[in-house]
Amino acid sequence: MRPQNGLRTGLAAALTSAFVRPIANAIPANRVGVAFSRAFIASSLWLASPPLKGSRVEPGIRGEWVRAPEVTEDNAVVLYLHGSGYALCSPRTHRGLTTRVSAGTGLPVFACEYRLAPGHRFPSAADDVRAAYDRLLGQGYRRILVAGDSAGGHLAVDLAAQLIRERKDPPAALALFSPLFDLTFSLAAQRERMSPDPMISAAAAARLVGLYTVDADLASTRLRFAFDDIKGFPPTIIQAGGLEMLAADAIELARALRRAGADCELEVVPGQMHVFQALTRFIPEAAPAMERACRFLTGNLPAIVRAA
């Protein structure tokens, strides 16, 4: 007999806390540690959330195109920005997520392969994301949605904010899974004092992100979002797990967007871990959460304008 949903979720969190967190906290934030982490996370994600069977993956410029089996429309696109501290992961590690975003929206997904730290520092990743967005526009896409997890969520917000500041059209909508908001990790550290994150400590996560932000001004509007000068931010859905330290970031980001007048839906799902949407084999709540996020994205997609 399979454990009930709540028991399965609790068991997954307990096992993660017992085995993953000690490893994540012990890995040094240097090139050797990053190399080990990349291999460890790649194998873990493939086990936890394999790509949907029948999905097509094709190479693109600095990224890859992902299409779920039922995707036939090509009149809009989702730009996906993977996470893992600006230093780990790639479009390949996130195919479990990107194939499901494609299936849930019925649209092709372009997963951006941005440059990673420690070899490339701020603003390399953000510049690559902007270049990917501009290429999609150049390819004729005028209806662009953006989704991202963790650090990819931070990159997604930066992209939309910069486009608005330049008086250019931002994405139609954003879906952010456990987005990083406070790069100092002070919000995360405060929440961690109430309950440890099952995956990693705030200090270890800060060291990893620091490989990207070293020598950067963390008070920059590209890194510390205030939205004081932002009007017309895209509709956004934010999802986070109740057990993770970045739930604090999700809550504060939602507050900041709402203060700026944005339409922002926030879901902090009790008992869930960081980017739980990627843990489809172990977390029953993963698939429903992804479905809700995809409905939000497509629900905010502008209608196709037909030529007269």
Walk along the chain (308 residues) in steps of 10 and give the mean pLDDT of each run. 61 78 82 88 84 96 96 91 95 96 98 97 98 97 97 98 97 98 97 93 96 95 92 97 98 97 97 95 94 98 68
Backbone angles phi, psi at 63, to 5 degrees: 160, -165
**Alpha carbon distance 248, 181 (integer Å):** 9
DSSP secondary structure, 219-245, as one string: TSTTTS---TT--SPPPEEEEEETTST
pLDDT of residue 91: 96
Contact 271, 6 (CB under 8 A): yes
pLDDT of residue 44: 84
pTM, 2 dp: 0.94
**Alpha carbon distance 41, 51 (integer Å):** 15
Tokens of 145: 């949605």
pLDDT of residue 307: 45
Cβ-proximal residues to 99 (8 Å cutoff; 6+ apart), any chain: 51, 52, 55, 66, 68, 109
pLDDT of residue 5: 57
182 closest CA partner among 273, 277, 250, 87 = 250
110 closest CA partner among 124, 129, 86 = 129
Alpha-helical runs (H) found in 57-201: 95-105, 124-138, 151-165, 186-194
Residues that are catalytic: 150, 244, 274
Cβ-proximal residues to 90 (8 Å cutoff; 6+ apart), any chain: 42, 82, 113
Q: Which residues of 228-237 are buried (b: 16+ CB within 10 A; e: fewer)?
A: eebeebbbbb
Paired strand residues for 59:
64
Tokens of 257: 């967007």
